[in-house]
Amino acid sequence: MEDIKSIDYFKSLNEGILNDVMPLFREENYEAGENIFIEGDKSKGIYFVMGGAVKVYKSSKDGREQILKLIYAGDSFNDVTVFTSDINPASADAVTNVKLYLLSRENIIGLIYKHPEISLNIIKSMTEKLRYLTGRIEDLSLKHTQERIAKILLLFEGKKLSQKIIADIAGTAREVVSRALKDFSSHGIIKIDKRDIIILDKKKLKDLGE
């Protein structure tokens, strides 16, 4: 019950509705680096992250990745396949060991008909995702690489991000990210402690991201 209450789709709903929702979930667990689904395959439904982190990404023919979003506990992904198409529009891999709840298209639509109040939560969640993707398009098309990297560090502050993941989100090479991080560090904006990136001057980093 507490897990479900943390999901955006089901926040603030009464226990009667949540009791209807609970039996419909299927739990899936993946190890770090394991593929969850592949772009173009038939969708199994909406996934909700209960623990760990997932990357949703597009791949080019030469194997390059563009990360669309990192998904953490409480958030969902592959939502669009329930309401528009049953084909996965992107691929998803586990970044860390992850625990997921899967809800099929038939079940989520059945819940919407039975409990229309869920629809408002879904609309809010989808609106936030649209706002995020609009910002990603703006970043990739209008911002310089250092600006994109600065914004990513702010957006995922406190999360463990490898330089490869930062590069895949920023749409650049890992070497470019390495140079940018060294530059930020030399100016006292961040501190690199092994694999952790600690923000020392959030204002300067925010100015760079803008």
Predicted confidence band at 55 (pLDDT cuts at 50, 70, 90)? very high
C-beta separation of 30 from 94 below 8 A? yes
Dihedral, CA atoms, 76, 126, 124, 25, nearest 10 degrees?
-30
- pLDDT tens digit string along 85-111? 789 999 999 999 999 999 998 998 998
- Mean pLDDT over residues 135-164, rounded? 79
Q: Region of 74 please: left (phi>0), alpha (psi -120 to 50) or beta.
A: left
| CB neighbours of residue 17 within 10 Å | 16
Residue 150: pLDDT above 90? no
Q: Where are the beta strands (DSSP E) in the chain?
A: 26-30, 35-37, 46-51, 53-59, 65-72, 76-77, 91-94, 98-103, 190-193, 196-199
Tell me which long-range contacts 153-160 makes (C-beta under 8 A, separation of at least 24).
153/184, 153/190, 153/197, 153/199, 153/205, 154/199, 154/202, 154/205, 154/206, 154/209, 156/70, 157/199, 159/53, 159/70, 159/72, 160/195, 160/196
152: which residues sit within 8 A by CB, 6+ positions away? 161, 166, 169, 170
- Mean pLDDT over residues 11-16, rounded? 83
First-last CA distance in the chain: 40
Residue 138: pLDDT above 70? no
Residue 29: pLDDT above 90? yes
User: Tokens representing 38?
Assistant: 């592949």
Residue 142: pLDDT above 80? no
Query: What's the confidence (pLDDT) of residue 11?
Result: 81
Query: What's the confidence (pLDDT) of residue 25?
Result: 92
Taken in order of first residue, the domains within the chain and their CATH numbers are 2-138 (2.60.120.10), 143-209 (1.10.10.10)
Query: What's the confidence (pLDDT) of residue 54?
Result: 94
- pLDDT tens digit string along 68-85? 888 988 889 998 888 887
Q: Per mean pLDDT, which of 28-32, 82-86, 173-177, 186-190 is the most reliable?
A: 28-32
Using CA atoms, how far apart are residues 56 and 91, in angstroms rounded to an integer? 6
Using CA atoms, how far apart are residues 118 and 127, in angstroms rounded to an integer? 14
Average of per-residue pLDDT values in the chain: 86
pTM value surpassing 0.85: no
